[in-house]
Amino acid sequence: MHRKNLREKLERYHPTDETEVADKAKMLEFLNSQEDCFERSLSIGHFTGSCWIVNRDDTKFLLTLHKKIGFWLQLGGHADGDYDLVRVSLKEAREESGLQHIELLSNEIFDIGVHLTSEYKEVPAHYHYDVRFLMKASDPQEDIKISDESDDLRWFDTPIVAPSLGVDIFRMFEKWEKRCLSRLL
């Protein structure tokens, strides 16, 4: 029963490119076939929740330079048994940014991605089935704070050109930009 909410969200989700079409199929298959798909202990992979956070004015987005992998990423993390990936995303966003006033802009999925992580210490390589939501930092007076999981944390108004920036960031930026433009028309 706890999978029903995510299954319904994934089924409603409209991928924007071929990568997302394939990732949506992989996620549904994984969700339907792996009993422990929300547990980090499932060594082949697990669901993660993350978010695209924009500032109050909707003019910038927040990325973290992930300490373990050295890439600029959206904020997020492991579900650790929690099947509510909105709740997971919000919890991780607060922990990784120091922001406490974060508003969910849509309960629907904003973006998805399936990625093979590298082996790290004694954890073998495995897949992250990442489900992303759109959120907003709602208090303009609140400052961001770098967590222990990050080397840096910054607001951006355009994606930086760097080898440590994943293609998913560009896709999420384009989705956000289209959303902003559609509100102006």
What CATH number did the domain enclosing 91 receive?
3.90.79.10
Whether residue 77 contacts residue 50, with contact meaning beta carbons closer than 8 Å, is answered with yes
> What sign does the CA torsion over 102, 106, 111, 117 have?
positive
CB atoms within 10 A of CB 185: 4
Tally of domains within the chain: 1
For residues 40-68, give the mean pLDDT.
93
Three-state SS for 56?
coil
Please report which confidence band the pLDDT of residue 157 belongs to, taking 50, 70 and 90 as the band edges: confident
pLDDT at site 87: 96
Write down the pTM of the prediction.
Answer: 0.93
Q: Report strand pairing: 75-78 vs 126-137.
A: unpaired
For residue 65, pLDDT over 80 is answered with yes
Chain position carrying tokens 């695209």? 52
pLDDT at site 92: 95
pLDDT at site 1: 46
pLDDT at site 162: 59
Expressed as residue numbers, the domain containing 104 is: 4-184
